[in-house]
Amino acid sequence: MTAIEAFAQQVIESGSYSPLDRVYVTNKIKALVGEDDEDISSSDLVDQLVAIAVKNKKIVDDTTSKEILNDLLHDLATPIPSEINRTFWEKMGTSPKEATDWFYNLCIKNNYIKKKAIDKNIVYEGTSSKGHELEITINLSKPEKDPQSIAKAALIKNNDYPKCALCLENEGYLGDYGKNSRSNLRIVRMTIGGQQWGMQYSPYAYFDEHCIFLDQKHVPMVIDQQTLINLIEIERMLPHYFVGSNADLSIVGGSMLAHEHYQGGKHIFPMMKAKIKQVIDFPTFSDVKCGIVDWPMSDLRLISSDTRQLIKLADLIINFWDQYSDQTIMIHAYDEFGQRHHTVTPIMHREDDKYILDLVLRDNNTSDQYLLGIFHPHEELWHIKKENIGLIEVMGRAILPGRLKDELQEVKKYLLHQPNDMAEKHEKWAKQLLLENHITADNVDEIIRQAVIEIFEAVLQSAGVFKDDSDGKKGQDKFIEQLTYRLNKN
């Protein structure tokens, strides 16, 4: 078989077309890659067809054009959205896990989930000196645009369709130099909180079965009682997944505040395994267990099988935190202009009939000393992590920039007293590692990995509103005392 013939067969075997459609499918492929075919020379037929298209001058040889064609070819082997939804909900009637397994594997097979790219990421686990389990990932999966694509993107007039990368209108979208191709994207429709939502998987997943729940309307993110109701409904529907929302304020929120969405998946994060270190008693909510979690950030955990009581208590805590200030530890609910600075990162998972809700307290104030955020990674940590701390990192999984792969190799050479090109920003840290450790060729990798774990621990401590020191503990006790008084009074 030639490459085109083999891929036509693959498309038919996917179930999107029948054998009677072979000529039609073949001509569809030729329209995309050109008529000059060649014998199979790659285990990945789509990669070979993209190369054939470049050779046949059907596309220009740049990253964006190749991505668009890649997704168009995979789209041919992917059932249409209505068929995806029919099959998903049929399987949901048997087993939610069976439904998500099917949908997830389809999204890998049709290359919407870029598994080959994701597998390049550097991932490891460790325990900090504070005793917290943490996970490190260095993100190498997302390809960088080449200069030619960047230059062409700059020439394209602003296009507000789709309005953002999370809009439903991305399903089947061709893409261009300014917006990612989504020809092979499929979204499962569902009703959450009485509104129309969708679920899709993340193309460059940061953890196991990383999915996104998105409002079908392009509306801003918000954390309120409806958020809690929505998280409960998702957990009822998909009890084997966790689900959570980024905070709804800049600095402490995610990168897509303009579109309401949640993230979920199958991964068990370090924060989920962390224990409650201090129980909080709310007599009027006797069916809800509550406590402070042993975690670098300030996390209140609520556990109950009574979802109404869980939602009511969580809503009261969120509203109390929204108004709470403590000048002695730089916690300010509002500024002089009346702008709100408090919110939470809510995360939910289930253990049998128990719903477990973590409310991580967030504050996005800035100061002259901390221009990027008082409760943000501090400057001495920027050589490893400068970006905002979102939902995934709150739970103990660091998403570190790809630059670190090469930079840490240079740090390694420095530690071994070899010729190196170590970045100046790592010098103070590297010198400290030399002072504190007897470094050899056998232990240098483990020393660097552990040192990055300690940096991530410090990053999370920076983002925590109540620090792990005497002032922070006093502040936390004061907050809990006032919260308990308010709730018990009501």
Sequence ranges of the domains in the chain:
1-59
Residue-level pLDDT at 382? 97
Per DSSP (E only), the strands in 240-393 are 242-244, 261-265, 276-280, 289-293, 299-304, 342-351, 354-363
Residue stretches of the chain with pLDDT short of 70: 143-158, 490
Count of beta carbons in the 10 Å neighbourhood of residue 397: 21
pLDDT given for residue 64 in this prediction: 92
Report pLDDT for 467: 95
Q: How far apart are CA 429 and CA 453, in angstroms?
A: 13
Provide long-range contacts, Cβ within 8 A and 24+ apart, for 160-169.
Answer: 163/218, 163/258, 163/259, 164/218, 164/256, 164/258, 164/259, 165/256, 166/212, 166/214, 166/256, 166/259, 166/261, 167/214, 167/218, 167/259, 168/198, 168/214, 168/216
Three-state DSSP state, 440: coil
Neighbouring-strand partners of residue 179: none
For 416-467, the pLDDT digits (tens) are 999 999 999 999 999 999 999 999 999 999 999 999 999 999 999 999 999 9
Q: Give the model's pLDDT for residue 152.
A: 64
- Separation of alpha carbons 270 and 127, rounded Å: 10
Dihedral angle, C-alpha 266, 271, 275, 278, nearest 10 ° = -140
d(CA 489, CA 326): 21
| 344's tokens | 């939470």
Tell me if the pTM is above 0.85.
yes
Q: What pLDDT was estimated at residue 141?
A: 87
How far is the C-alpha of 363 from the C-alpha of 321, rounded, in Å? 10
| Contact by Cβ (8 Å): 482, 378 | no
How much helix, strand and coil, in percent to the nearest 5, is found in the chain?
A: 40, 15, 40
pLDDT value for 151: 63
Q: Give the model's pLDDT for residue 154.
A: 58
